Amino acid sequence: MHALLLIIGLCLCLLFSCVLYARDVSPIVLSKTFNGVMESPAYWVSEKYDGIRCYWDGQALYTRNGHLIHAPKWFIEGLPTQPLDGELWAGRGGYQTVSKIVLDHTPDDRQWRKIQYQVFDLPQSKAPFEQRQRTLQTLVKKTNLPHVNWVKQTRIQSLSAINAALDDVVSLGGEGLILRPQNSLYEIGRSQTMLKLKVRQDSEARVVAYQAGRGKYENMMGAVWVELTNGKMFKIGSGFSDQERKDPPPIGSEITFSHEGFTEKGLPRFATYERLKVQE
């Protein structure tokens, strides 16, 4: 009995230390949603890439949760020893493609040729944003790697111009924008120094039940009932392909859905299924 308890204790310690390691591996800034209020005289604006957030620690690539990304040797050769913050990207609308490729523990060399590393910050620099970008642009240029790109930043001084930039990106199939206040420092964790702006917001929920389909969806799933973290439940019936209706997200799984804000009752408005939540 004592031996069993000792084994369980050791396993728990190992699990806990792995969690701590994952948290410590990727000390990056995480975005908050832009509330439409210009709290900085100007923002540096760039496209929000729909990919896998990627932290380079000088030796290897990690997801934002600290999990090792098994990239081919050629992909990381030539990257600087200085840590980088960016996104692994496979083009607009390519989230499913990039997640399948970069989260595979056995890298497919041919598939990795589709991936770009869009680099947008220096996480260990104490310099203000503008100086960090000048340094970063020089670093990326020196790598001379075709799959590594510096993310262009545009200084915008009005809300109307920001909204116009959002419309331009969305019209091209982009997801949205990232706003960085001028002269801002790099802050680890959720921070007002990195704001996201999208036409539709993404949220997550847990699948709790199915609703049968009717008409053309007879004998298929018509909608899923889901539960938010606050306990509120609602159903999502749009965004599913015919194949996903035949083989819907499993009960108990977590999904990502998009919506346009919330109703007065606190339920997502115009919720649309996007995908199964990927464990990065």
Annotated catalytic residues are: 48
Cβ-Cβ contacts under 8 Å for 277 (sequence gap 6 or more): 204, 253, 254, 255, 256
**The two three-digit tokens of residue 64, written as one number:** 């934002």
Q: How many CA atoms within 13 Å lie on the side-chain side of 34?
A: 26
What element of type H or E holds 181?
strand 176-181
| Residue 124, CA distances (Å) to 30, 64, 182, 185, 240 in order | 14, 15, 18, 10, 41
Q: What single letter denotes the amino acid at residue 274?
A: E
CB 85 within 8 A of CB 64: no
Longest dimension (CA), the chain: 68
Short-list 180, 182, 200, CA closest to 192:
180
